[in-house]
């Protein structure tokens, strides 16, 4: 799983300079060096990483990142879970934090997209955050509740076209990869399925497994256990190539939607 951007509160650095720096750990070290030049050696206190709700794929990835930072820097990296509101809460916390490198944001694409979906978002992602690294990626997977009479993408499209508006899809937060993947599917397939938003991807998957909704595009990391347990049926993966997480699962592109690609990024 690759999570969209791992970013910090604004550092007052030139954005062009940031974009020319190498990605990954090298960039993190250079950002820290910029801070330490004006004061004591960095870091001298714990680092706070603000991310999504507990148990999400992004939360899991952030905890792995925190373990690595703790071991490398000699200061504890602490996870602060602030899910909900499509990233508005987490983004506002980090945007208003002191620009000293001790408050980081680890979130998915919603943190950048929410400004185009909702009004009065209290931060500007380009002005208030300095990007550090694209950390993790997990392909979205098209899954359905076992009660849905479709065992392939073409069969699902046929069912949806025969019953417009009858199928519901769980999308997690508005603007999440699961939500946007389903909207892209609706557009490319020419079907009418209804978005039912939940506070988190975890809640959406649980609702799908319970039969509250019928369709979803969660990331493969979150969906695999449900599929292997038989609680969900996987129809296709949204990457150009099949995924090792669900061997034998065809791609959406090869299942009648050429060029369809979607992934959950941090």
Is the predicted pLDDT of residue 21 greater than 70, yes or no? no
Percent of the chain surpassing pLDDT 90: 42
Question: What's phi and psi for 71, nearest 5 deg?
Answer: -65, -35
129-133/194-196 β-pairing: unpaired
Mean pLDDT of all residues belonging to the chain:
80
Q: What's residue 135's pLDDT? A: 78
Spatial contact of 237 and 141, defined as CB atoms under 8 Å apart: yes
Is the predicted pLDDT of residue 130 greater than 90, yes or no? no
Lowest mean pLDDT among 26-30, 89-93, 188-192: 26-30
- pLDDT (average), residues 132-139: 80
Greatest Cα pair distance in the chain: 66
Q: What's residue 167's pLDDT? A: 96
Confidence category of residue 32, pLDDT binned at 50, 70, 90 = very low
77-81/47-51 β-pairing: parallel
Q: What is the pLDDT of residues 45-90, one digit of tens each?
A: 999 999 887 767 778 888 999 999 999 999 999 999 987 666 788 8
**What is the C-alpha separation between 162 and 143, in angstroms, rounded?**
19
223 or 26, greater pLDDT: 223
Helix (H) or strand (E) holding 34: helix 25-36
Q: What's residue 2's pLDDT? A: 39
Q: What's residue 236's pLDDT? A: 95
Please state at what angle helix 220-228 crosses helix 201-209, rounded to 10 degrees. 20
- Supply the pTM of this predicted model: 0.68
Is the predicted pLDDT of residue 211 greater than 60, yes or no? yes
Q: What's residue 265's pLDDT? A: 62
Tell which residue, 175, 177, 128, has the closest CA to residue 1. Answer: 177
For 170-238, give the DSSP string. E-SSTTSHHHHHHHHHHHHHT---EEE--SSHHHHHHHHHTTSSSEE--BHHHHHHHHHTTSSEEEEES
HSE value, Cβ hemisphere, 13 Å, CA-based, for 105: 32
Q: What's residue 190's pLDDT? A: 95
**What is the C-alpha separation between 218 and 201, in angstroms, rounded?**
7
Q: What's residue 84's pLDDT? A: 63
Q: What's residue 29's pLDDT? A: 32
- pLDDT (average), residues 213-241: 91
Is the predicted pLDDT of residue 175 greater than 50, yes or no? yes
Residues found in the chain: 266
Q: What's residue 226's pLDDT? A: 93
Is the predicted pLDDT of residue 257 greater than 90, yes or no? yes
38 or 211, greater pLDDT: 211
Percent of the chain surpassing pLDDT 70: 80
């Amino acid at each position: 799983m690759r999570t969209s951007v791992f970013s910090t509160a604004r550092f007052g650095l030139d954005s062009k300079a940031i974009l020319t720096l190498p990605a990954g750990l090298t960039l993190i070290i250079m950002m820290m060096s910029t801070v330490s030049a004006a004061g004591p050696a960095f870091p001298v206190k714990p680092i706070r990483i603000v991310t999504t709700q507990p148990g999400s794929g992004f939360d899991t990835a952030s905890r792995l990142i925190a373990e690595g930072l703790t071991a490398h820097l000699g200061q504890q990296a602490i996870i602060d879970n602030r899910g909900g509101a499509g990233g508005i809460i987490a983004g506002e916390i980090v945007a208003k934090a002191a620009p000293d490198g001790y408050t980081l944001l680890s979130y998915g694409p919603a943190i950048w997209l929410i400004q185009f979906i909702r009004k009065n978002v209290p931060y500007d992602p380009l002005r208030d955050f300095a990007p550090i690294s694209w950390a993790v990626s997990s392909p979205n997977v098209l899954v359905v509740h076992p009660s849905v009479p479709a065992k392939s993408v073409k069969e699902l499209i046929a069912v949806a076209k025969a019953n417009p508006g009858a199928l519901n899809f769980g999308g997690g937060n508005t603007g999440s990869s699961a939500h946007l993947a389903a909207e892209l599917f609706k557009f490319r397939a020419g079907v009418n399925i209804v978005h039912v938003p939940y506070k988190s991807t975890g809640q959406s998957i649980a609702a799908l497994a319970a039969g509250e909704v019928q369709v979803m595009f969660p990331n493969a990391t979150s969906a695999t256990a449900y599929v292997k347990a038989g609680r969900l049926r996987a129809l296709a993966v949204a990457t150009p190539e099949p995924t090792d997480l669900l061997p034998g699962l065809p791609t959406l592109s090869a299942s009648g939607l050429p060029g369809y690609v979607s992934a959950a990024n941090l």
